[in-house]
Amino acid sequence: MNWSFVLSNAITLACIYGTLAIGISLTWSSLGLVNMAFGFIFALSGYGAWLASLNISAQPAVVMAAGILTGALGGLIVCLLAFIPIHDKPNFPLRALIATLAISLIGNQALLWYFGPRAKSLPKLFGNWNADIFGVIVTSDKLGASVSAIVLLTLILLWMRSSRRGLEIRAMMMNPHAASIVGIGVRRTGFYVMALTGSLAGLASVLLAQTYYVAPFSGITPMVKGLSIALVGGLGSVPGAVIGAVIIGLNEALTSTLLGGQYVLITQFLLIILVLLVRPRGIAGLLDKAREA
């Protein structure tokens, strides 16, 4: 068993799933919305990138930008349908959860209906070369995916830390009610957050499509992975999501080397259950009642 290969694979996947997990986590903590349409946004942005590569240009920057923009658009659609109309209505979290599930059902079927069940493949964004890092052979797509995920995530986190909009989003994460009292528009921030997390899903989609394909239902498994990472890390915490991604990635690598690939999910969920039994709100989650509304 090639340890270095497995490890590099796990790190790449952890980067991509971590991107998704941060998106899910941000949505939950700032809007109180569990976005189950994340898989749909993921698949939609994959198709957006694919269309761009066919019709505009196969330049890596164009494809990536198209994926990210389509993801942001998907996020805005979800925001318009599932957040804006019901965010001040009774029983919002459950209704929003079901609304996003419905959007996911409609959207995935629409993708299947329009594009057909055949998987599409994106052009290679990062060329076809190998790099040798400390004796470990890393293929270009993995290295490119990890590096671009880390770079873009860092940019977004810096933006969240330093900009006015980021301040608004962080205020919503701390206390949405107080944020709305001091004049932060809940709906406006909803648009920012959903566009941002949608673009994160688009980024993850483009990056993952380097290894896998774009298909109508390709978003479900990444969404479940992202959700579980967000759960382990603690919903609403970016460092928690990073730690969760590393732990899940390590678990995946270790399990598939020591036990075999089919046991990955089993060990993963046993790990998640264990972590949640010890810390019911995740590794970095707040232990008090984090979000009431």
Q: Which residues bind another protein (CB under 8 A)?
A: 28, 34, 81, 85-86, 89-91, 93-95, 97-99, 101-106, 109-110, 112-113, 217, 220-221, 224, 227-228, 230-231, 235, 262, 265-266, 268-269, 272-273, 276-277, 280-281, 292
- Among residues 46 and 285, whose Cβ is nearest to another protein? 285
Indicate the DSSP class of residue 138.
E
- Among residues 133 and 266, whose Cβ is nearest to another protein? 266
Residue 124 beta carbon to another protein: minimum distance, rounded to whole angstroms:
28
Phi and psi torsions of 266, nearest 5°? -65, -50
Given a contact cutoff of 8 angstroms between Cβ atoms, the answer to whether 219 and 109 are in contact is: no
Residue 265 beta carbon to another protein: minimum distance, rounded to whole angstroms:
5
Q: What is the greatest pairwise CA distance in the chain?
A: 58
- Among residues 80 and 258, whose Cβ is nearest to another protein? 80
Residue 278 beta carbon to another protein: minimum distance, rounded to whole angstroms:
9
Residue 12 beta carbon to another protein: minimum distance, rounded to whole angstroms:
20
Residue 96 beta carbon to another protein: minimum distance, rounded to whole angstroms:
8
> Could you please report the per-residue DSSP string of 145-201?
HHHHHHHHHHHHHHHHHHSHHHHHHHHHHH-HHHHHHTT--HHHHHHHHHHHHHHHH
Given a contact cutoff of 8 angstroms between Cβ atoms, the answer to whether 4 and 139 are in contact is: no
- Among residues 56 and 94, whose Cβ is nearest to another protein? 94
- Among residues 89 and 164, whose Cβ is nearest to another protein? 89
Which residues have a Cβ under 8 Å from the Cβ of 246 and sit 6 or more positions away?
14, 18
